Amino acid sequence: MKTEIDSIAGETPGIAYELIIHRLNGSDDNAPRVYIQAGLHADERPGVAALHYLIPMLEQAEADGRLLGSLTLVPHANPIGAAQHLYGEHMGRFATGARTNFNRDFPVPDDNGVRILDSASAAVFAERRLKSRLLELADRCPIVLDLHCDDESVQYIYAPEKLWPEMSDLAACLDAEAALLWDSGSDRAFEEAVFEQMTAQAKDRDLTGHCVTTVELRGQNDVNAALGKKDAEGIYRFLQGRGVVAADGKPAPILRDDFVGKPIRHINMMLAPTGGTVLFHVAPGDRVEAGQMLAEIIVNPGRTDGTVAILAPQSGYVLTRRIRRFIRMGDNLIKIIGDAPVAPHKGALED
């Protein structure tokens, strides 16, 4: 494995960010090339833990001659966001200087559909140069994994509908509990931008064998050695199944019996109707019925009319909930995959 360190210049004299890039060389030019990154939202660490365990496994495969495809791994994809703190609190999701979400507004390809903004361009914010560099690194890789997490959550993945059900092998290997399928990108999340790049480059627009996904490795605090190893092993099994690492004869994992795979238009994003202290009555992974109490928000403690009840708008599956227990009116409170579609949806990620 070879390691390079890219320098992303900051906007002011004396500031630069280091982007660590590991490259492993496969022995078979026809095997798929792979790109994996973690920590694009710099406050989401389960993917970093997974790569911590996956990188030595892949190095060993390379040393043993079992690595067929080549890989590019970026375990800290966002050194800019990693460095942002305000009064002791980490701010890893939005670029505070540029006022953008680190996983939205990725650069648009040029007319060839394949080349993106030159990451060396001087007259753009560092966040913009970082985004274009990440797209360059993922360029011409038919398998691209972007490792994220949610607030409190089961493990789930996003996938372009065009790559489903082929990508269910990833969900099975990861032991994921759900998948959200999207068909119209609009926010230029990394996954959308890569899929656009992939589609433009695919011969005859045939996307067989391709995979691009935002993997939500559970919740923000689900960072420990056991889960990191499990996720690393899951990704490794997936890479074996796709012919990136030589297979070992073990049977391919299958999807869980209770797996929930739905188009993203089935998402009910429940917003807090009032501010207050949250008491959840359900947790990620629960099945709920229409009208069931999901949470109460305490507005006026100790008074009989002091709480506001949040009820399930339809039957479905609780995917995620807020990590904080004090909430503002309008904040996302809980995310349910409804049994019925909710509304047409634009974009790969719902928020």
Q: What is the maximal distance between C-alpha atoms in the chain?
A: 69
Q: Tell me which residues in 240-269 interact with Zn ion (CB under 5 A).
A: none
Stretch that binds Zn ion, among 11-19, 146-154, 287-295, 327-335 (CB under 5 A): 146-154
Q: Give the torsion through C-alpha atoms of 143, 149, 154, 160, to 10 deg.
A: -40
Q: Tell me which residues in 309-328 interact with Zn ion (CB under 5 A).
A: none
Q: Which of 128, 148, 262, 266 binds Zn ion (CB under 5 A)?
A: 148
CB of 74 to Zn ion, least distance (A): 15
Q: How far apart, in whole angstroms, are the C-alpha atoms of residue 208 and residue 242?
A: 11
Q: How far apart, in whole angstroms, are the C-alpha atoms of residue 152 and residue 219?
A: 4
CB of 311 to Zn ion, least distance (A): 28
CB of 219 to Zn ion, least distance (A): 11
CB of 51 to Zn ion, least distance (A): 15
Q: How far apart, in whole angstroms, are the C-alpha atoms of residue 170 and residue 269?
A: 25
Q: For residue 236, give Cα distances in angstroms to 23, 59, 66, 162, 176.
A: 16, 12, 12, 24, 14
CB of 247 to Zn ion, least distance (A): 31
Closer Cβ to Zn ion, 214 or 240, answer by number: 214
Q: How far apart, in whole angstroms, are the C-alpha atoms of residue 42 and residue 63?
A: 31
Q: For residue 200, give Cα distances in angstroms to 108, 266, 336.
A: 12, 28, 33
Closer Cβ to Zn ion, 44 or 187, answer by number: 44
User: What is the size of the binding site for Zn ion (CB under 5 A)?
Assistant: 3
Q: Based on the shown chain and the rule CB under 5 A, indicate whether residue 188 belongs to the binding site for Zn ion.
A: no
Give me 247's structure tokens: 């297979």
CB of 337 to Zn ion, least distance (A): 18
Give me 209's structure tokens: 């064998």
Phi, psi of 346 (to 5 degrees): -105, 135
Contacts of 253 by beta carbon, 8 Å cutoff, 6+ apart: 172, 173, 175, 234, 237
CB of 204 to Zn ion, least distance (A): 33
Q: What is the DSSP letter of 96?
A: T
Closer Cβ to Zn ion, 131 or 148, answer by number: 148
CB of 2 to Zn ion, least distance (A): 28
Q: What is the DSSP letter of 224?
A: S
Closer Cβ to Zn ion, 45 or 210, answer by number: 45
Q: Tell me which residues in 31-60 interact with Zn ion (CB under 5 A).
A: 41, 44
For residue 160, the one-letter residue type is: P
Give me 308's structure tokens: 């506001």
Q: How far apart, in whole angstroms, are the C-alpha atoms of residue 193 and residue 187?
A: 9
CB of 289 to Zn ion, least distance (A): 30
Give me 262's structure tokens: 């739905």
Give me 192's structure tokens: 């959308």
Residues that bind Zn ion (CB under 5 A): 41, 44, 148
